[in-house]
């Protein structure tokens, strides 16, 4: 059984790429994209948590005044 010649599946890396190997460059880009998505989600969750605390504080004040 003959071993087939190696093919370059991943194409050329982009200009200004961090890695010369296109496979590692693609992997790096995917990881950084997922990391930025995670960072954005955590910031939105933090903002929502702050908003919930603020609303709960307002609710506590209104219930206290109501009696």
Residue 58 belongs to a domain = yes
Domain count, the chain: 1
Between the alpha carbon of residue 2 and those of residues 5, 12, 60, the distances in Å are 9, 27, 77
Residue 13 belongs to a domain = no
**Residue 46's domain spans which residues?**
22-67
Residue 43 belongs to a domain = yes
Between the alpha carbon of residue 26 and those of residues 22, 35, 38, 65, the distances in Å are 6, 14, 18, 59
Q: Which residue has the tokens 């994209």?
A: 33
Between the alpha carbon of residue 53 and those of residues 23, 24, 26, 30, 44, the distances in Å are 45, 43, 41, 35, 14
- pLDDT for residue 32 is more than 80: yes
Residue 2 belongs to a domain = no
Residue 54 belongs to a domain = yes
Residue 6 belongs to a domain = no
What confidence score (pLDDT) does residue 42 get?
Answer: 92
pTM value is 0.49
What confidence score (pLDDT) does residue 1 get?
Answer: 53
């Amino acid at each position: 059984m003959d071993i087939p010649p190696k093919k370059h599946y991943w194409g050329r890396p982009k200009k200004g790429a961090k890695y010369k190997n296109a496979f590692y460059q693609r992997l790096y880009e995917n990881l950084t994209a997922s990391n930025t998505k995670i960072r954005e989600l955590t910031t939105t969750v933090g903002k929502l948590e702050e908003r919930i605390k603020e609303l709960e504080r307002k609710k506590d004040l209104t219930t206290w005044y109501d009696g």
